[in-house]
Amino acid sequence: MTHQQNNSDIDIPKFLIFLENLLNEPIWDVYRFSKGSSSYNFKITTSRRTILVKLLKKHSMVGFNRIYQIMNRLEKNPELKYAHLQKINGEPYFVYQNYYGIILDYIQGEALSSYEIARRHFRQILHLYALFQKTDFSNCQALLPPYDLEKIWQEAFDSLQEQEAQIKTHGGFQKIIFQRLFSLIKKHLLQLKNEPLQRKPDRMAVIHGDFHNNNLLFQKEKLVALIDFEEVGYGYPTEDLMRFILCLIERLPIWITPFSYVGEWIELSQKRFSFTEEEWVLGLNSFSVQKIQKILRGKYKLFSLKHLKKMIQLVFYFHLHKKIGGLIKEKIR
């Protein structure tokens, strides 16, 4: 048996002995491939199967209940492939020291790199998300209730003001560009704060909450599964789509960003979910604002003013409003 050694509060060899006794199967290999603030993920290979073991700290029992209820609901949608929850001795979880543990199917696949995504993948991804939206999550008590849209906008505005304070550390042309951008964004957020767009109840649904390419598993360019349901909650689907596009752009230097691919994604999603231009704006929250600021604050090396203008137009055209994209085009020459 081999395993990857990691620094943690868990003695991995002892944990593996415990797990072997629990499963009553010899463990051949273990790989701890991720660690969150209150959880661990292990890929375990036994003498007869490969599984995913997730440990959650006991104080996050609410989080475990959420996952358990969500996984049970996903069972009702046979079209959607994901990692099924496996019971241990008739129970949905086991206890190890200060952790609750759950066992899931391990789906062989790999996250599709942002650099590899093409039009054909967008269609697969949109179809997978549509299947997720069709899943019946009624009576899933652990899901978050509808939240206050005005509060989200206020958080976004507060985050923006914090970012604006950091502009003073920049100089020259970069400072001028940021000042103009923040002026435009603040004007837009204030308008929405004073005249908030109303969410349409019939458009609200359970959203994935962490929808991006690293949680979409592929095998030989075929989409096979959607994973990671810890952040599932009640909200507006454009939030998931915005997150996907932001994460996609964040991992791509602007000069190789597949502009037309992003455009096709939005066009397809508008047809599938009937989102209007204004409803796309609802996807902007404090998370989105912070992502945008990271991009604008020089995370990527800009070769010229042309690249900077292209980045600004791309991000704000799709993530705030087409009017802002137009304003930026007029203001920054």
In the CATH scheme, what is the code of domain 114-331? 3.90.1200.10
CATH of 2-106, one of 3.30.200.20, 3.40.50.1000, 3.40.50.300, 3.30.70.20: 3.30.200.20
Domain boundaries, the chain: 2-106, 114-331
pLDDT at 259: 64
Supply the pTM of this predicted model: 0.80
Using the 8-state DSSP alphabet, how is residue 47 labeled? S
Structure confidence at residue 5 (pLDDT): 44
* pLDDT, tens only, 57-68: 776 667 677 788
As a whole number of angstroms, the distance between CA 261 and CA 314 comes to 12
Stretches where the chain sits below pLDDT 70 are 1-8, 34-38, 59-61, 63, 145-147, 149, 163-164, 166-174, 177-178, 181, 184-185, 188-189, 191-193, 196-197, 253-259, 293-333
Q: What integer pLDDT is reported at residue 9 of this predicted model?
A: 74
Residue 234: phi and psi, rounded to 5, are: -95, 125
Strands (E), the chain: 2-3, 27-35, 39-46, 50-57, 85-86, 94-96, 99-105, 110-111, 205-207, 216-219, 222-226, 233-235
